[in-house]
Amino acid sequence: MQIAVVDYGMGNLRSVVKAIEHVAPNDAHVVLTDAPEVILESDRVVFPGQGAAAQCMQALHERRLTPALREAARTRPFLGICMGMQVLLERSEENEGVDLLGWFPGQVRRFQPTDHRLKVPQMGWNQMHQTQDHPLFDGIRQDARFYFVHSYYCEPAEPAHQVATAEYGLSYCAALADEYVFAIQAHPEKSAEDGLRLLANFTRWKGPWS
């Protein structure tokens, strides 16, 4: 089994690779790649990311990764992490407005907390409340704490796509899913035992989910 971790030049991805290698089955090969052909020959795809939406979209287009990512997400387990979740929606308020991949209807909004104690970006541990059952939540207790770092949050248009929420001045979508895609705003590779359990579940999940 081959698991591709997509490298489009944004963020330190070594921690993601190491975390997946730690929990994957013994026969799994984890490869960090920016090659569309490697993505399409892999059995599972992990799409992490951090940074600005405009830079992310530019990097994806420059590396001509979008068609391969779309095909992979339609046909095999696909995990989006942090920015790799946000860019799945249609448009972000970041950078004065950015068109995203548009796989899920909805928008990406900037946090505007009225409580001065809530700083932007949100940075640290927060509870994730599961709103639907999903195989990637297997063995993870309700309201488990995950590690978040983000200034923007996802607002999917279809409630059926939301599988978990978190609270930060408002209730927002912390994870979404559809068929072969599962995407999470938190960083599972930085989220201790529960994060590793979610990654382990992904390496064994065959999909689809609906």
* HEC sequence for the chain: CEEEEECCCCCCCHHHHHHHHHHCCCCCEEEEECCHHHHHHCCEEEECCCCCHHHHHHHHHHCCCHHHHHHHHHHCCEEEECHHHHCCCCEECHHHCEECCCCCCEEEEECCCCCCCCCCCEEEEEEEEECCCCHHHCCCCCCEEEEEEECEEEEECCHHHEEEEEECCCEEEEEEEEECEEEECCCHHHCHHHHHHHHHHHHHCCCCEC
> Any idea where the domains of the chain sit in the sequence?
2-204
**Proportion of the chain above pLDDT 70, given as a percent:** 99
How confident is the model over 2-25, as a mean pLDDT? 91
What would the pLDDT profile of 38-49 be if each residue is shown by its tens digit? 999 999 999 998
Q: Which residue in 56, 82, 154, 173 is the catalytic one?
A: 82
Is 116 part of the annotated catalytic residue set?
no
Look at residue 119 in the predicted model and tell me its pLDDT.
Answer: 94
Look at residue 84 in the predicted model and tell me its pLDDT.
Answer: 94
Is 150 part of the annotated catalytic residue set?
no
CATH class label, 2-204: alpha beta
Is 154 part of the annotated catalytic residue set?
no
